[in-house]
Structure 1
Amino acid sequence: MGVTDREYRKAFYRAVNLHQGAHMMTEEEQFERYYVPVYAHDDGPAGPDLVKEMATAIDFTVGGSVQLLSGYRGAGKTTELMRLRRDLDRDAYVPVYMDIEDYLNTELPLDGGSLLIALAAGFVDNCEEAAVPRQRLVARMKTFLDRLDIRGEADAAASAGPVGLDIKATLRDDESFRARVAKALESNRKAFKKEMHTFFQEVVAAMPSGKTPVFIVDSIDHYRGRAAVFNEVRDSVESVFSTYSSELALPGMHVIYTVPIYAKPTGWEGQIWPVLNVKVQERSGGDCREGMDLLRQVLVRRAPDGDLKRLLGDQDDRVIRASGGLFRELFRLVSALLLKDGALPVSTGDIDQVERQQRSYAAAGLTEEQWDILRTVRQTGQLRVPRERTSEAWTLQALGYVLRYRNGVVDWYGVHPLLDKLLDEA
């Protein structure tokens, strides 16, 4: 006897919402069960295989390197970083992954001092694979903070247990601690950098068998802030990566930072790799069949028994097209459809309702200036605006309402499909 519609919906819903619930799959389990090689073809709709190129850059660089991975939220950066961790030569490298949102509030402007302290704490917290005795790293972390005279209230919990857990809470919740860190950096940047790099040099020296750490710092791309402070948050990210580029190049290791699609740090000398949305439409307006097929494979891998038709019937192209080629948007649409209580496959009325809900959410709060930019993008296929409208344009791109598609040699821009239908009315 086959599974009921409700059981099918439940299993499918959990497969597209892997980070919810008490039991979450390991990264290895996620990769084995669900990964689709969207970058298998260099000239494909997702672009070149950036993970392969990043791994090559690491292998070719003596000592250490620093790279930026930029892109839209929901474009699949974290998934590709998981693949990088998996593909690294473990005889030569030790991957260490941290999520910056565990340490800093991405709704607030980024400050250099807090980021640098978070990197040290995050490395200590997440270096299980490095096989370095934890207490040795904790002791080094305490020494680092003591030399800068900023440990303060972090001291008690650091003495009692994992230092990073205390610093997580302190960085996120204690404004006075962040102020002391900022003061220490501003008053003597040279000493701050020396102490920080000394900490990481000692950590690298403690690596087993002389292996080199590959430190992956994820979720800096989540720095966007709400509308009222977007400009301040955007400027802070670009300023930190422009001003503290030498501090962020950690000695003796390879570092990868994920940054927002809008980030263009002045004078940045390292590689910046862009992860864009999968191309689901051609510039002429027709479907990009190869991109549509890739995203269909992504859904098929998650559907119970690979049966996507049971949910969508012959409407799979419509749903994929409406995602704009962003994985997160695709999963959001499918999740909303799975929560409907009618017979399967879902009706066109159900899809109409879900699209209307998502479209209303996206359109809420857009300014007349932003609608003008969207109209221009649709007409020209480019994102070119006067200087005074730069912040509105970057906001639209950060939200995924303006998408960037690969088209041979020259990329082009398009409006998110759900908003495109409103442009004639706005």
Structure 2
Amino acid sequence: MALSAETRNELKTLYNALSDRVLTPDDPVYVPEINAVGQSGADPVIEIATEIDWQEGGGVCLFTGQRGTGKSTELRRLQVELESIGVVAFYADLSEYILLTKPIEISDFLISMAGALSDRVAADPRFAGNPSRRSYWERLAHFLDTKVEFKDVSLKVPQIGDIRASLKNDPDFKQRIQQVSRGHVAQIVQDAHAFFRETVQELRLTTGNPDLKVALLLDSIERIRGVGDEAMGVYESVRNLFFAHAEHLRIPFLHLVYTVPPYLSILAAGAGSLMGGAVVRRLVSTHIFQDRSREVDPGGLQLLRKVIARRHIGWYRIFSDEALDRLALSSGGDLREFFRLVRLCLPAVRDESALPLSRDAVAHVEKSARAEMLPIPADQLDWLQRIARSNNTCLQKDDDLPLLAHFLDNRLVLNYRNGSDWYDVHPLLREVVDDHVPTGSHA
């Protein structure tokens, strides 16, 4: 039986309802239970908001999780929570300012931070009416023209409006800024910190509140990752940023929340302690499996059904319970992957009588998703097998870090927490990994 116009429209509605987007806490499809429990058993967003409320003179909080676990959405919720307690909070996506596939240094990182805050203040209707304010980009152009000698590196400073775009899109400009800055790190840090301090003071004057707290929530830092031969250099630059320059990432009078790579605790163990004792709070995949096992957790499956129901209340007309649960288990509890698998099923529906889809009817999307992750080299399968058997990362040496980051970034390995953090390979790879004969064990 061909699809009716009504059914086709319903399939389209569900398809679009599962598109990847950042939610705000007041969005009707937002489900707070997804990330409401952190390592301590409490809500990590509320914990961070409380820390900022209690911190005096500025401070640092760290936030992490694999791609798709909802960091950006939770940062938006944090922004709302902070504003509700009288903190002026600005959210900035640093992917708009940083070239994410090249090494990062403290100079261009602080420049990007300061530029982001400058742009957010200028765009905020509460503070946009000050005609005497000079943007950070204007300040930077003046600084580069008067404080740093460029002749030796032939750096041509672009127009003020182009500096931001050049830092993000022009690897040559970014590299030259870094080269010049290495001899002037103290000056750049001092000037950026001065800008942050002056901005906080200005906002306090504008609001008439001398004790006003200002927070800057910096997203997408965790997306900095190496590619090809530069991979290890990029990861080393992240280590250097959060470890060697930790003190420069603490800004007096400003409260900062940095999203950091999931591997930071491995890459730069103890970096948080150098930033005032900051604890890394981590978002994980929905625990659809029992602790350190592959036994199904019914509570996790029920939660993912609730998420789908918020997106489209009539989902049960399209999927049977068994079919939706199969897709949930195949996603490993990763929301972005779960939505993707569900969406992949919809364009293939051609027969009205096939609805709701059975468990067997959705198997084809698993094959497609698995094929995207294969083939995997034998030495990588060795490592994945160790992770599957131990539920730990099994990182043996620093040189292997880019590969671990690849596993986490591409969700070949998923992070869970049922009381404590643990890891397992993506469910769609289990059979391949479990059946692999380790290198050196072949007859």
Select 2:19's aligned residue among 12, 17, 20.
Answer: 17
1:415 paired to 2:425: yes
Write out aligned runs for 1:18-417 (5 A).
18-19=20-21, 28=24, 31-38=26-33, 42=37, 48-90=42-84, 92-127=86-121, 128-129=123-124, 131-133=127-129, 136-149=132-145, 156=159, 158=160, 163=161, 166-207=162-203, 208-209=206-207, 210=209, 211-226=212-227, 228-264=229-265, 265-268=268-271, 269=273, 270-282=278-290, 283-303=292-312, 306-314=313-321, 315-343=323-351, 344-348=355-359, 350-364=361-375, 366-387=376-397, 389-408=400-419, 410-417=420-427
Deviation, 1:355, is 0.8
Name the aligned partner's letter for residue 341 of structure 1: V
CA contact (8 A) 2:72 2:219 kept: yes
Q: CA RMSD in A?
A: 2.7
Deviation, 1:369, is 1.7
Deviation, 1:421, is 2.2
Name the aligned partner's letter for residue 177 of structure 1: F
Name the aligned partner's letter for residue 103 of structure 2: P
Task: Say which SS state the counterpart of residue 60 (structure 2) adopts.
Answer: strand
Count, aligned residues: 406
Q: TM-score by structure 2 length?
A: 0.83
Change (3 A) 1:144 1:169: closer
- Taking the aligned partners of 2:83 and 2:77, their CA distance within structure 1 comes to 12
Deviation, 1:52, is 0.7
CA contact (8 A) 2:110 2:189 kept: no
- Taking the aligned partners of 1:354 and 1:40, their CA distance within structure 2 comes to 27
Change (3 A) 1:362 1:54: same
- Taking the aligned partners of 1:348 and 1:191, their CA distance within structure 2 comes to 62
Change (3 A) 1:175 1:7: same
- Taking the aligned partners of 1:41 and 1:194, their CA distance within structure 2 comes to 38
- Describe the superposition over 1:114-173 as per-residue Cα deviations: whole angstroms up to 9, x where unpaired: 2211111111222333524465444454224322437976663x3xxxx4xx33311123
Name the aligned partner's letter for residue 259 of structure 1: V
Query: What is aligned with 1:23?
Result: none
CA contact (8 A) 2:99 2:171 kept: no
Where do 4+ consecutive residues of structure 1 move more than 6 Å? none
- Taking the aligned partners of 1:47 and 1:404, their CA distance within structure 2 comes to 17
- Taking the aligned partners of 2:319 and 2:369, their CA distance within structure 1 comes to 18
Q: Structure 1 stretches of 5 or more lacking a match?
A: 20-25
Deviation, 1:100, is 1.2
Which stretch shows the higher mean deviation, 271-280 or 380-389? 380-389
Percent identity, please: 29
Query: What is aligned with 1:22?
Result: none
CA contact (8 A) 2:114 2:136 kept: no
Which stretch shows the higher mean deviation, 341-350 or 3-12? 341-350
Q: TM-score by structure 1 length?
A: 0.87
- Describe the superposition over 1:208-259 as per-residue Cα deviations: whole angstroms up to 9, x where unpaired: 3233221111011112233554333222222211122222222311111111
Change (3 A) 1:123 1:299: same
